[in-house]
Amino acid sequence: MDPDFDGFLHATARLSIVALPAPADWVEFGFVRDTVDTSDSALSKQVAALADAGDIKVRKTRNHTGRHTHFRLTPHGRQAFQWHASALERIVAAVREPLK
C-alpha cells in the first residue's frame, strides 16, 4: 500500500467531509450535511473524530438567526488530505498501466 494512504481519512464519510472545505476557508455545517447527504448526528460524530485527530477546526457562533457551526481544514488536515489524494491518484495510475 502507498505510504501516504490514510486509512482514517479514507472512510467514505470522512473523505467527503474533508474534501469539501479543501478549496475553501470555512464551510457551514448545514452545507456539508446536505452535500454529503447525512444526518446531523452522523456528521457531528465524524466532525468530532476529525477535530480530535487535528484535521479540522470547528467554530461555533450565535447571531440573530441562531447557532451556527462552521469548520475548516487545519494545516495538518490539509496536508493529510493532499497526501491521501496523491496516494489515491498513484493507486489509480498503477491500475491503469498495461500489464506486462
Contact present, 34 and 28 (Cβ < 8 Å): no
Assigned CATH for 7-95: 1.10.10.10
The confidence score (pLDDT) of residue 57 equals: 97
Predicted structure pTM score: 0.87
pLDDT in tens, the chain (100 residues): 788 999 999 998 999 999 999 888 899 999 999 999 999 999 999 999 999 999 999 999 999 999 999 999 999 999 999 999 999 999 999 888 776 6
Q: Which amino acid is at 73?
A: L
C-alpha cell at 10: 479514507
Query: 3-state SS of 65-89?
Result: CEEEEEEEECHHHHHHHHHHHHHHH
Domain ranges of the chain: 7-95
Say how many Å lie between the first and final Cα of the chain, rounded. Answer: 20
**Measured CA angle at 4 (ends 50, 47), to 5 deg:** 10
